[in-house]
Amino acid sequence: MLLIADIEKRFDGRSRIEASIRIPPGLSTTILFGPSGAGKTTILRCIAGLERLTTGRVIFDGDDWTEIPPQKRPVGYLFQDYALFPHLRVSENIGYAVKRSPDTVQHYASMLKVDDLLDRWPSELSGGQQQRVALARVLARKPRLLLLDEPLSALDAATRDHVRSELAQLLRTLSIPAIVVTHDWVDALTLGDQMLVMSAGRILQSGPPQEVFTRPQHPDVAAAVGVETVAAGRIRAREGGLVFLNVGSAQLAAADPGIEERDFYVCIRGEDVTLEKGRAEQSSARNHMHGTVSDIVPAGVLTKVTVDVGFDLVALVTRQAAADLELTTGSEIFAVFKASAVHLIPNVHK
């Protein structure tokens, strides 16, 4: 393994982080994904040596870093707020850790497309420019491992989309392994080769990002990766490649998972649920569930609608669709979704 990190960190009896991370050679970018407070930044700081382990080890390419101070670890750490020195110009910021070598500064400034900004102060830069300058400063140290803490979270939405594409291309061409902390699923899918999902200080699942997002193996992972509906269900029948489950006081159909378990967590993404005023008899969807709207909340360009169908089922619909359906709290509605849209996670903790 290129990186072996077995980390346990306790904070005065309040919380505990426990994680084992393995990164094989040749893997470009690993995503640490999860909600705020999951422990992602603490893991990054432990690998960098900025937090001392309670117990554990950090071994990189055969070298034990556990007792090596942070300044001697060949790590490039990009902080969430970029941490540029406000009293130094861009050229001085980039060259700070490399004795202001002009050739090195020019090389990395050109690589990050900030060579026309070298005489400016950080306060004169846009968010995207600050991110590029901070990354140029990190790369100027010629690190063997990159640690990026929420590298895009400080940017506005339009800038984030553009810089995300640039960062993805850069990480693929640098040939430097990277660990990227994020809670944004677009970042994870765009940047990551491997994804580790954290919740409450533990790693719950790992794998390729697309696989983790589409096949979560734990209810907390499902919640973390944006599955809006997670409910306990029990199989009552199997027939023709389908299973029929009792969920709350309702029944629904799902694709047969092919295992003998009877108790599952039923996971349904909001975008897979369609709302209709009447039952569409010609629809190919197996699930047509009558219910009552219990909550309506704006969700960016969409509207999040919770429908009581015997359990709380969340649909994500456009604002126009919500208006056309004349949705209000208490409205009666049909929620429609395919059996293939239901992902089942064995409930081993029942």
**Whether residue 256 is found in the same domain as residue 341:** yes
Question: Alpha-carbon distance 323 to 314, whole Å?
Answer: 17
Q: Where is the domain boundary, 159, 189, 223?
A: 223
pLDDT tens sequence across 94-136: 888 776 577 888 888 888 889 899 999 999 998 888 988 998 9
Residues 30 and 90 in one domain: yes
pLDDT at res. 350: 46
Residues 82 and 218 in one domain: yes
Residues 188 and 240 in one domain: no
Question: In the chain, which residue ranges form alpha helices assigned H by DSSP?
Answer: 40-48, 90-95, 102-111, 127-140, 157-174, 185-191, 209-214, 219-224, 319-324
Residue 249 token pair = 């006081």
Distance in angstroms (rounded) separating the CA atoms of residues 90 and 34: 33
The pLDDT value given to residue 119: 93
Location of structure tokens 């309040």? 14
Q: What is the pLDDT of residue 73?
A: 92
When divided into structural domains, the chain yields a total of 2
Distances (CA, A) of 323 to 300, 302, 327: 15, 12, 7
| 180-190 burial: b if 16+ Cβ within 10 Å, else e | bbbbbbebbbb
Residue 97 maps to which CATH number?
3.40.50.300
Residue 205 and residue 255 share a domain? no
Locate tokens 């997670």: which residue?
A: 230
Structure confidence at residue 274 (pLDDT): 92
C-alpha to C-alpha distances, 85 to 79, 81, 142, 294, nearest whole angstrom: 13, 11, 20, 50
CATH number at residue 277: 2.40.50.100
pLDDT of residue 348: 62
How far is 45 from 60, CA to CA, in rounded Å? 15
How far are the Cα atoms of 47, 178, 266 from residue 70, in angstroms, in the given order?
9, 17, 44
Helices (H), 115-156: 127-140
Low-confidence ranges of the chain (pLDDT < 50): 350
Do 214 and 334 lie in a common domain?
Answer: no
Judge if 301 and 155 occupy the same domain. no
265 and 214 co-located in one domain: no
Reference 53, options 21, 10, 86; nearest CA is: 10
Angle at 39 between CA 169 and CA 192, to 5 degrees: 20
Alpha-carbon 282 to chain mean position: 38
- The parent domain of residue 167 ranges over 3-223
Taking CA atoms, 191 is separated from 27, 41, 313, in Å, by 12, 18, 31
Asked whether residue 265 falls in the same domain as residue 204, the answer is: no
Please tell me whether residues 129 and 259 are part of one structural domain.
Answer: no
- Considering the domain architecture, whether residues 163 and 199 belong to the same structural domain is answered as yes
Say which residues have a Cβ less than 8 Å from residue 88's Cβ, sequence separation at least 6.
96, 122
**Cβ partners under 8 Å of residue 161, min gap 6:** none
